[in-house]
Amino acid sequence: MQEMQALKVNSYLSLGEITKLLENVEYILMASPSMMAEPELPIHFSVILNTSEVIPEEVKPLILEKFCRELGISATSHVLNNRERIAFALTTQETPMPRHIIDDAEANSIPWTLLHIIDFLGDSEGFKEAKDGLSGWSYSYNN
Of the chain, the percentage scoring pLDDT greater than 90 comes to: 83
pTM value? 0.90
Q: Is the Cβ–Cβ distance between 129 and 32 less than 8 Å?
A: no
Handedness of CA 51, 56, 59, 60 (dihedral sign): positive
pLDDT, average across residues 100-114: 96
From CA 18, how far away is CA 56, in angstroms rounded? 25
Indicate if the pLDDT at residue 6 is higher than 70.
Answer: no
Average pLDDT over residues 96-110: 95
pLDDT digits (tens, 9 = 90+) for 32-50: 999 887 778 999 999 999 9
Upper half-sphere CA count for residue 8 (Cβ side, 13 Å): 2
Query: How much of the chain, in percent, has pLDDT values that exceed 70?
Result: 96
Q: Does the structure show a pLDDT above 70 at 23?
A: yes
pLDDT band at 1 (very low <50, low <70, confident <90, very high): very low
Half-sphere exposure of 22 (CA within 13 A, CB side): 22
Cα–Cα distance for residue pair 51/36, rounded to 1 Å: 29
Q: What is the mean pLDDT of residues 88-110?
A: 94
Q: How far apart are CA 40 and CA 36, in angstroms?
A: 6
